[in-house]
């Protein structure tokens, strides 16, 4: 696979932008959180896909959004009462990438780190399998030579740079990776 093909494979067509927290009211609204902290892009969404919690992914038409910090509300087609809304608690909200929050210079989505090569002082440590959410911050899960899993805190102290377009993450020289 060429470098360009690998980068395209890494940049998925759909991306997680939020998570449903709970039902709101009795008419099927759900309260959700933005994963990026940005909210201005939500009203442009006409369809979302909900994933997670052991259920198959399902697409919904968006009937309306109510965006007012700190409360973010969404009404989905076919979700017409509190019980139906409550059943969606914990699901991730996925959308076409074009509906996700716009990126600024030197910004990227954490999902785009998957597939990046991790290097330290000129040697390849592994390839990022996923980014794990941990209490103290995100952690890169990389698969090293021989299939060994390496966990790397995604912090400035350990990660010198992340070039998603080139598909390379460079670790600091003193980051401990064995």
The domains of the chain are located at 12-99, 110-171
What are the start-end ranges of the E strands in 40-167? 47-52, 55-68, 71-76, 92-96, 117-120, 123-134, 137-143, 149-153, 159-163
Q: Are strands 137-143 and 149-153 parallel, antiparallel or unpaired?
A: antiparallel
Percent of the chain with pLDDT over 90: 44
Residue 68 is predicted with a pLDDT of 75
Architecture of domain 110-171: Roll (2.30)
CATH fold, domain 12-99, is Elongation Factor Tu (Ef-tu); domain 3 (2.40.30)
Mean pLDDT over all residues of the chain? 86
Report d(CA 93, CA 47) in Å as an integer.
10
Q: Report pLDDT digits (tens) over 105-149.
A: 778 888 889 899 999 988 888 999 988 877 778 889 999 888 889
Residue 50 is predicted with a pLDDT of 96
Residue 12 is predicted with a pLDDT of 66
Half-sphere exposure of 61 (CA within 13 A, CB side): 4
- Neighbouring C-beta atoms of residue 167, cutoff 10 Å: 20
């Amino acid at each position: 696979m060429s470098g360009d093909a690998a980068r395209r494979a890494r940049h998925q067509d759909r991306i997680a932008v939020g998570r449903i927290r709970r039902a709101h009211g009795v008419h099927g609204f759900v309260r959700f959180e933005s994963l990026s902290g940005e909210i201005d892009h939500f009203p442009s969404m006409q369809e979302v896909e909900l994933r997670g919690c052991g259920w198959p992914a399902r697409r919904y038409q968006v009937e309306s959004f109510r965006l007012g910090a700190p409360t973010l509300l969404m009404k989905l087609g076919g979700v017409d009462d509190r019980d139906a809304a409550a059943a969606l608690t914990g699901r991730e909200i996925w959308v076409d990438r074009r509906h996700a929050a716009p990126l600024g210079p030197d910004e990227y989505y954490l999902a785009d780190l998957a597939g990046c090569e991790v290097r330290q002082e000129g040697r390849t440590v592994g390839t990022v399998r996923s980014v794990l959410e941990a209490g103290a911050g995100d952690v890169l899960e990389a698969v090293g030579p021989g299939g060994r899993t390496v966990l790397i805190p995604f912090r400035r102290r350990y990660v010198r740079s992340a070039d998603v377009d080139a598909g390379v993450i460079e670790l600091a020289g003193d980051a401990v990776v064995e």
